[in-house]
Amino acid sequence: MFRKIFILARPNIKTFTQVQTNKLPKRKWKSVVGLEVHAQISSQSKLFSESPTKYGLPVNTAVSYFDASIPGTLPVLNRKCVESGIKTALALNCQNGYQITQQRSALANNGQITFPVIVPGKKIYYKTVRLLQLQLEQDSGKSLHDEGLKRSLIDLNRAGLPLMELVFAPDLETGEEAASLVKELILVMRRLNTCSCKMEEGALRVDANISVHEPDQPFGVRTEVKNIGSVRSLSQAVSYEIQRQLEIVAVGGDVHNETRSWDAEKRCTLPMRDKEVLQDYRFMPEPNLPPLRLNMKDIQLDGKNHTCSICVPLIARDLPELPEQTRKDLIETYKLNTETGIILVNEPVLLEHFQNIVKNFPDIPKKMITNFLINDLMTFCNKININIEECDLTYNHIKDILTALYNEKINLHSARRLIELAHEHPNTNVNELIIIYDLEQISNVERIENYCLQAMETQSKAVKQYQSGKTKALFAIVGEVAKLSNQKANMKSVVQCLERLLKQ
């Protein structure tokens, strides 16, 4: 374990114009991307002290004497943090790399993570990236610079917060792959409850190391990109930096070994500091920290007292099902397509709704359920710019809408309208909303035929086209029926009725 003291310097900022994608070099180049992730461990207290870890506390109110480096204070290792680190390492397939006694070594090595990559317009593929090491660290304090009063202020609330540093091999090639890896890592750690992964609170921070080189040649000079605030920004930052380096090498220039910052507003990377000279971060060994002992034997087998050590096999037995296995089970059990399985696992709220509805209403077709959850409910949330967790629809709302849709009490248009209404009126049940807003589907044969006859009169041109063999003209007549019925007609009955009338 080490304690860090950071030196902050004000860099000379130089802007770089947005790279034009149509000016890429004609020679073939390969991009190489490696990620370093710092994940704050979900715990009540810090790594070496009892200070609270809650986000947003008043300045310097969550600081112990040890956090402030007062001489004479001693560290006490937080057992839960170590267990969380081991749990995460096991989930990332670090089966054999554990240090039995850890003092100056990583907690675990030689893992890997496999994840799906979805790029619009391209076929979904899976990528495997090696995890070189996972180690525990403590966070540093924060400096605040007041330019007006020419002073620097220090907040030590963050000092000592428990972190996992995950160093991934440079096995990635694109911004989409980098973002997909982090998405999968977030799913894993949230499933394990080892990290909240709230990037907006700094609970998950990602640095990207990027270089380009010609095939069969050594890796090029890399740059490190920091200050990446979201998964989307990660994809954009990596893609931009790859393009920036490609433009440089295209004209015979040299990429400099430097640290750059991602500017989300300008959507470009800016230089922070030069890394040609080895940076001295002043790592200091903590001599008062006793060695961490991990028990690699199963405590139920040897029968000894291991209260002073941590049993890795016992933690391994308690691991929950991981996202990769959940995806596989969904696709195989319910015959879902790959993309649907991926989306459901990526959205735990949707996954829970899907599993509950499938269990309690087995007759409702799985495709109807997934289409409603993904194409309708998620689309509504995206439209009003909220996360699915922020939507006020309860499980009862969703199952009642789907049941009404399956029983043909309502049509799809009314189902979508009910999503909006249930979000606006979360305390009103679906059946009441159907009555209040007159959303029940019209299936009466006579009413349907009357609407169809009116539509045929209005769309006489489409009628002639259909009768002359242009079957797609039927859509215009169906649309007219929907309009006349205020979008409430049973469309299946409408099509059947129109086909019968048009043959007469």
DSSP notation for 229-282? -SHHHHHHHHHHHHHHHHHHHHTT-----EEEEEETTTTEEEEEEE-SSPP---
The amino acid present at 413, given as its one-letter code, is H
The amino acid present at 254, given as its one-letter code, is D
- The beta-strand segments (E) located in 50-150 are 101-102, 108-117, 125-138, 142-146
Identify the residue whose tokens are 């129109």. 498
What pLDDT is recorded for position 13? 35
What pLDDT is recorded for position 335? 95
Closest C-alpha to 129, from 209, 218, 35: 35
Parse the chain into domains and list their residue ranges: 2-285, 323-436, 445-503
Q: Is 359 left (phi over 0), alpha (psi -120 to 50) or beta?
A: alpha
Report how far apart, in Å, the C-alpha atoms of 319 and of each of 93, 147, 380 are. Answer: 12, 49, 35
The amino acid present at 305, given as its one-letter code, is N
Per-residue b or e along 382-421, where b marks 16 or more CB atoms closer than 10 Å to that residue's CB: eeeeeebeebebeeebbbbbbbbbbeebbbbbbbbbbbeb
3-state helix, strand, coil in the chain (%, to 5): 40, 20, 40
- The beta-strand segments (E) located in 329-451 are none
Distance in angstroms (rounded) separating the CA atoms of residues 81 and 233? 29
CB 15: neighbour CB atoms within 10 A? 11
Distance in angstroms (rounded) separating the CA atoms of residues 208 and 32? 10
Closest C-alpha to 210, from 249, 265, 160, 154: 249
Give yes or no for a contact between 219 and 170, defined as CB atoms under 8 angstroms apart. yes
Distance in angstroms (rounded) separating the CA atoms of residues 174 and 476? 44
Helices (H) and strands (E) in the chain, counts: 17, 15
| Bridge partners for 138 per DSSP | 162
Class of domain 445-503: mainly alpha
Residues of the chain with pLDDT under 70: 1-27, 96-104, 273-286, 299-308
Give yes or no for a contact between 89 and 194, defined as CB atoms under 8 angstroms apart. no
3-state secondary structure of 203: coil
What pLDDT is recorded for position 471? 87
pLDDT tens digits for 431-466?
999 999 999 999 999 999 999 999 999 999 999 988
| Model pTM score | 0.84
Closest C-alpha to 113, from 165, 182, 39: 182
Closest C-alpha to 234, from 258, 210, 259: 210
| Bridge partners for 17 per DSSP | none
Distance in angstroms (rounded) separating the CA atoms of residues 42 and 367? 37
Cβ neighbors of 484 (< 8 A, separation 6 or more) are 451, 454, 455
Distance in angstroms (rounded) separating the CA atoms of residues 37 and 347? 22
Q: DSSP secondary-structure letter at 309?
A: S
